[in-house]
Amino acid sequence: MTRRAPKEHIELVPGAPFYHERLFIFERIRQFVWDIIFPFFPFVRDFLIAVGIVRHHVERQDYHIGYLAPGKTPEGLRAHLLREGFDADRIAWIDKEESIGLRRRVSFHYQYHLRLFSDGELRGHYELTPEASPFGHLLEWEFCEKKNEFTAFLDGWVA
């Protein structure tokens, strides 16, 4: 599988052609559908994995960022990231030994996804949101490192 670098998100401009306005309405409809699915998704995901319909990688994804800095706690990191605009990622796979998984949506289309593991390792990537492109997200079509951005979010929290 070949990963592609994410495209820049095209912001909607007042007076933009009808195509962009229609796309915006379509995005709002997709978000509404996902808002209905969100509460049930973790249970469905876990069931599909348990019965073998869906397979989930057991290894950690790419893009090591570092380790939780000495004297810092997972609870403190979580609180810091929530202040930085991250929130719970209910749709994400839960990797083995993952203790925290959060995302920061940049737009309807893209997000930063950060994981903390029980050994203190931090890994993160920039990707399509599952709301915008469920299959593109699952297949990691647009998936990249963005280590500098994560380092800025984690200022003082990563060693």
DSSP 5-51: PPPPP----TT--HHHHHHHHHHHHHHHHHHHHTTTHHHHHHHHHHT
Q: What is the pTM of this model?
A: 0.74
Q: pLDDT digits over 139-151, tens only? A: 788 889 999 999 9
Check residues 49 and 110 and name the one with the higher pLDDT.
110
Is the confidence at residue 14, as pLDDT, over 70?
no
Residues 6 or more apart whose CB falls under 8 angstroms from that of 156 comprise 69, 72
- pLDDT score for 42: 75
- How far, CA to CA in Å, does 108 sit from each of 85, 87, 111, 120? 15, 14, 8, 30
Please report the pLDDT score of residue 47 as a whole number: 86
**Residue among 137, 135, 139 at smallest CA distance from 126:** 137
Return the percentage of the chain with pLDDT > 70, whole number: 83
Considering the chain, what is the average pLDDT of its residues?
82
For residue range 48-82, what is the model confidence (pLDDT) as tens digits? Answer: 778 887 776 767 888 999 999 999 999 999 999 99
